Copies of this chain bind each other. A is one copy, B any other.
Amino acid sequence: MNELLKQNISKNATFSETELEEFCKHFKLKYFKKKEYLLKQGDVCRFEGFVLNGCFRIFTFDQKGNDNTLYFAAEDWWLMDNDSFMHQSPSHLNIQALEDSEVLMINRTDKLMLYEKLPVVEKLFRVMSQKALVAWQRRLIRNHCETAKERYQNFVSTYPDISSKITDKQMASYLGITHEFLSKIKKR
């Protein structure tokens, strides 16, 4: 039973020892090489992942072919396409390893079974989703009221570990600006 996963869960719900064990035993350790895809746009998402180490980028190609980064997932983050997982529809997202990484993965069947078997699992993901929702709302507001330079500086100071692992191009795609402009921001 993995200690990091255990701690992560405990932040959001109170599991008994047996519940924790029952929950964790469905996760299997998988390795991803740098640049390898955990999910590709068009595929159906049949799993959920929890990052033990390494880093992933979650992004999508829009109609115009630009790549938009939704977020980065390093150690202690969860990975999945909620939409595709829920409806078993083709995913709009790509999830790609930015470096060699280790992920604990649970498949969809097991997760659905756990929702049924352990009510506390419903609570766990309810709380996780509500917290994530708040974070997305805040990010949208910040995109409206802060300049690109402010957003860049905030990101670097909030996530120094992630900032050091990603290229400027990926950073720009996360901030919603061109990489040329990011280069000009950094110069000053």
User: B-contacting residues of A (Cβ < 8 Å)?
Assistant: 60, 62-64, 66, 68, 70, 82-83, 86, 115, 119, 122-123, 125-127, 129-134, 136-137, 139-141, 143-145, 176
User: Which of A70, A125, A136, A137 has most B Cβ within 10 Å?
Assistant: A137
> A132 to B141, alpha carbons, bound, how many Å?
16
Pick from B129, B131, B139: contact of A140, CB under 8 Å: B139
Contact check, A141 vs B60: say whether CB atoms are below 8 A apart.
yes
- If A66-B145, A136-B137 are given as contacts, then 17 extra A-B residue pairs at C-beta distance below 8 Å, sorted by A number, are A62-B141, A62-B145, A63-B145, A68-B144, A68-B145, A82-B130, A82-B134, A83-B134, A86-B127, A86-B130, A122-B126, A125-B126, A125-B130, A126-B126, A129-B129, A129-B130, A140-B143
> A143 to B130, alpha carbons, bound, how many Å?
22
Pick from B123, B141, B145: contact of A122, CB under 8 Å: B123
Oligomeric state, in number of copies? 2
The 6 closest A-B pairs by CB, nearest first: A129-B129, A126-B126, A136-B136, A144-B176, A122-B122, A62-B145
> A70 to B133, alpha carbons, bound, how many Å?
12
Contact check, B141 vs A143: say whether CB atoms are below 8 A apart.
no
> A124 to B42, alpha carbons, bound, how many Å?
28
A83 CB contacts on chain B under 8 angstroms: 134
A64 CB contacts on chain B under 8 angstroms: 145
> A64 to B83, alpha carbons, bound, how many Å?
35
Give A58's nearest chain B residue, CB to CB: B137
